[in-house]
Chain A
Amino acid sequence: MIRKEVVKIISSHIGNNPIISANGFMSRDLFEVNDKESNFYMIGSMGLASSIGLGIALKNPKKQVFIFDGDGNILMNLGSLVTIGSLKPKNLVHVVFDNNSHESTGGQPTNSSKISLEKIAKGVNYTVFVIKSKSKLISVLKDIKKLKGPVFLLVKISTSEERSKRVSWTPITIRNRLMKSL
Chain B
Amino acid sequence: MNEEIQRKIFHYLKKKKIENFVGVPDSTLKYFINECLKNNNIIITTREEEAIGIATGMTLSQSNSLVFMQNAGFANSISTITSLVQLYQIPLIFLIGWRGYLSDDAPEHLKIGEIQPKLLKIMGLKSQILTEKNWQIKCDWALNQIKQKRPCALIVRRMFHD
Q: Which of A48, A56, A172 contacts B61 (CB 8 A)?
A: A56
Q: Which of B56, B79, B88 contacts A172 (CB 8 A)?
A: B88
Contacts of A52 in B (CB 8 A): 53-54, 56-57, 60, 84
Contacts of B79 in A (CB 8 A): 44-45
Q: Establish whether residues B90 and A56, one from each chain, have CB atoms under 8 Å apart when the complex forms.
A: no
Contacting chain B: which of A74-82, A97-105, A113-121, A152-160? A74-82
With A174-B88, A179-B60 known to touch, is A55 a contact of B55 (CB < 8 Å)? yes
Most buried by B among A45, A49, A79, A82: A45
Interface of A is mostly: helix
With A54-B54, A55-B54 known to touch, is A45 a contact of B60 (CB < 8 Å)? no
With A59-B58, A182-B61 known to touch, is A48 a contact of B53 (CB < 8 Å)? yes
Interface positions, chain A 38-92, Cβ under 8 Å from B, are 40, 42-45, 47-60, 77, 79-80, 82-83, 87
Q: Establish whether residues B50 and A83, one from each chain, have CB atoms under 8 Å apart when the complex forms.
A: yes
Complex-state Cα separation, A47 to B42, whole angstroms: 22
Q: Can you list 14 contacts pairing A with B, beta carbon distance less than 8 Å?
A: A40-B60, A44-B84, A45-B84, A51-B54, A52-B56, A52-B57, A55-B60, A77-B47, A79-B46, A79-B47, A79-B50, A172-B88, A175-B89, A179-B60
